Amino acid sequence: MATEEMLNWIANASYFLAAVLFILGIKRMASPVTARKGIVQAGIGMVIATLATFAITKGHNIELIVLGIAIGVIPTWLWGKKVAMTDMPQMVALFNGMGGGSAAAIGAGELLKFSHPGSAPPMTTIGLAVLGALIGSVSMTGSIIAWAKLDGRMDKRFNFPGQQIFNFLILAGAIVAGIALIAWQVDSRLIIAFFALALLFGILMTLPIGGADMPVVISLFNALTGLAVAFEGYVMNIPALIIAGTVVGAAGTFLTQLMAKAMNRPISGVLFSNFGGGGSGEAITGAQKPIEASDAASLLYMAEKVIIVPGYGMAVAQAQHKIWELTQALIKAGKEVKFAIHPVAGRMPGHMNVLLAEAGVPYDLIADMDDINPEFKTCDVSIVIGANDVVNPAAKTDKSSPIYGMPILNVVDSRQTIVIKRGKGTGFAGIENALFYADNTRLLYADGKEAANQLISELKMIEGGGGH
């Protein structure tokens, strides 16, 4: 008996330590200087908590537990190690779906236990088990759809008439089944119906959402999984789950709001409406003025201050390494170079920073929109590569434009702008970009990687001929 008490004490102390490490870890991850330590700390917390759990499971089903952990850890670890940085958002979605599924499975197991005659716990416990299971199930199937969409495995959008009412009915059905479980009786057929409806709703609510809004949705599902974990933690009586789950739920909700704000998309708009169907904006007069790489290189050579504005197009062209090479060449020639990142550049907020970081760009050269916007006025040349809607001045000036009101990078203020672009197409929102027609804008029509390469070699030629 004494050993058992001791083991319980050890486990509880470990869970407490893990909770502290999680909170510290998340806090550190919110600052670029300490972020790397943060994840390691949280990781140590996870290992401690997992090992401590073996102390209180008394060896029951231990082979299955170890086998299950091995099956869960090994493939995800290997996959996570080798997946390309551009594919990170969908990986987060997938792993989040797994967490939601795990919480739902705990809920299912507990409800099954409660369904045996005479073993019904207090109503609060059943209620939270049901709530956690509902949220976890929705988060699981929803995340899987989000993953499939971002991974290009599924048609971008799926609509049918009366979709919202249909979805609402499915959700209402799941809620009614849940309430019946709580207030009437924990019946096994009811449990099955409840899970079927909840899982279905996760799929249905995510299907109509377009790819551009996916980051906000993934962040929301992340917060929801946190909540589901917290609720199941109450049911299982493990405070570490309640604390870690709630902290993630709250941080995730806040983060979702920040992202939605950065994208100028209210969360309700993301969930219940479709994007990109709006007006087409005013027509633009004038012509796009092309430039050769050699002339662009001389503009850069004469500049003192250069701001590079990368967009997802750069990442698709895998041009970030070449762009960094170009940047290094410019810095070596004594220019001041900065990267301007729009909050939603890339596929989700912060994604572009990760992609640039992968190419080796130090984070202190990378500036957020609010910090860099006043600097465009004093900038000699801006290079826009693979970005479009986030630099479109129509967002400020044209009320009829679908992107009106979205915060943009004020590239239009810089003395000269070079836009690197494959062709004359429009951006994701399908709108013409007034910046591309501005008097001081020149278009360098080329693949991003190719253009950067040309600029580097032209720059070398100028420097070689310039005779330092």
Partner 1 sequence: MIDGFLALYIFMLAAFTGKEIIGRVPVILHTPLMSGSNFVHGIVLVGAMIALAHAESTLAITIGFIGVILGAGNAAGGYVVTERMLEMFKSSKDKK
Residues 366-395 that bind partner 1 (CB under 8 A): 366, 368-369
Q: Between 238 and 406, name the residue whose CB sits nearer to partner 1.
A: 238
- Closest to partner 1 by CB, 40 vs 172, is 40
Nearer to partner 1, 169 or 183 (CB): 183
The residue from 86, 92, 133, 147 that contacts partner 1 (CB under 8 A) is 92
When asked if residue 145 is in the footprint of partner 1 (CB under 8 A), the reply is no
> Which window, 153-161, 219-227, 377-385, 454-462, contacts partner 1 (CB under 8 A)?
219-227
CB-nearer residue toward partner 1: 21 or 435:
21
The single-letter code of the amino acid at 75 is: P
Q: Would you say 19 or 177 has its CB closer to partner 1?
A: 19
Binding-site size, partner 1 (CB under 8 A): 121
CB 349 within 8 A of CB 421: no
Q: Which helix (H) or strand (E) holds 190?
A: helix 188-206
Q: Tell me which of 106, 150, 198, 337 binds partner 1, using CB under 8 A.
A: 106
Which spans in 83-183 are helix H?
88-114, 123-150, 163-183
The DSSP output letter for 187 is -
Select from 347, 346, 349, 343 the least CA-distant residue to 406: 343
Of 2-10, 100-108, 291-299, 390-398: span binding partner 1 (CB under 8 A)? 100-108
State how far the alpha carbon of 336 is from the alpha carbons of 64, 339, 340, 378, in Å.
59, 10, 13, 11
Q: Does 29 bind partner 1 (CB under 8 A)?
A: yes
315 counts as binding partner 1 under rule CB under 8 A: no
Q: Which residues fall within 8 angstroms of residue 329, CB to CB, at 6 or more apart? A: 456, 459, 460
| Contacts with 205 (C-beta within 8 Å, 6 or more apart), sequence order | 138, 142, 167, 171, 271
Residue 199: Cβ-neighbour burial (10 angstroms; 0-12, 13-18, 19+): buried
246: Cα separation from own chain's centroid: 20
Site string for partner 1, 52-81 (x = CB under 8 A): -xx-xxx-xxx-xx-xxxxxxxxxxx-xxx
- Name 442's bridge partners: 418
Residue 266 or 278: which CB sits closer to partner 1? Answer: 266
Number of Cβ within a 10 Å radius of residue 31: 10
Please list every residue from 224 through 243 that binds partner 1, using CB under 8 A. Answer: 225-226, 229-230, 232-234, 236-243
131 binds partner 1 (CB under 8 A): no
User: Minimal CA–CA distance to 182: which of 83, 104, 115?
Assistant: 115
Cα–chain center distance at 200? 23
Instruction: Name the residue nearer to partner 1 (CB basis): 13 or 69.
Output: 69
What's the CA gap between 44 and 21, in Å, rounded? Answer: 8
- Residue 246 binds partner 1 (CB under 8 A): yes
Binding window for partner 1 (CB under 8 A); candidates: 165-173, 222-230, 289-297, 391-399 = 222-230
In what helix (H) or strand (E) does residue 142 lie, and over which residues does it extend?
Answer: helix 123-150
**Nearest distance from residue 385's CB to partner 1, in Å?**
18
- 151 carries an active-site annotation: no
**Least distance between partner 1 and beta carbon 165 (Å):** 32
Q: Residue 304 or residue 368: which is nearer to partner 1 going by CB?
A: 368
96 binds partner 1 per the rule CB under 8 A: yes
Applying CB under 8 A, does 193 fall inside the site for partner 1? no
Residue of the chain from 26, 154, 175, 193 that contacts partner 1 (CB under 8 A): 26
Among 134, 146, 150, 251, binds partner 1 (CB under 8 A): 251
Beta-bridge partner residues of 70: none
| Helix residue ranges per DSSP H, 290-360 | 293-302, 312-316, 320-332, 351-359
Binding positions for partner 1, 277-296, rule CB under 8 A: none
Of the listed pieces 254-262, 286-294, 301-309, 375-383, which binds partner 1 according to CB under 8 A? 254-262
Q: How many angstroms separate the CA atoms of 100 and 135, rounded?
A: 8
Q: Is 23 in the site for partner 1 (CB under 8 A)?
A: yes
Catalytic residue among 389, 398, 413, 439: 389
Which residues, 6+ apart, have CB-to-CB distance to 365 below 8 Å? 327, 337, 338, 339
For the CB of residue 156, give the shortest distance to partner 1 in the complex, in Å.
Answer: 21
Instruction: State how far Cα 447 lies from the chain centre.
Output: 26
Q: Which residues are catalytic?
A: 389
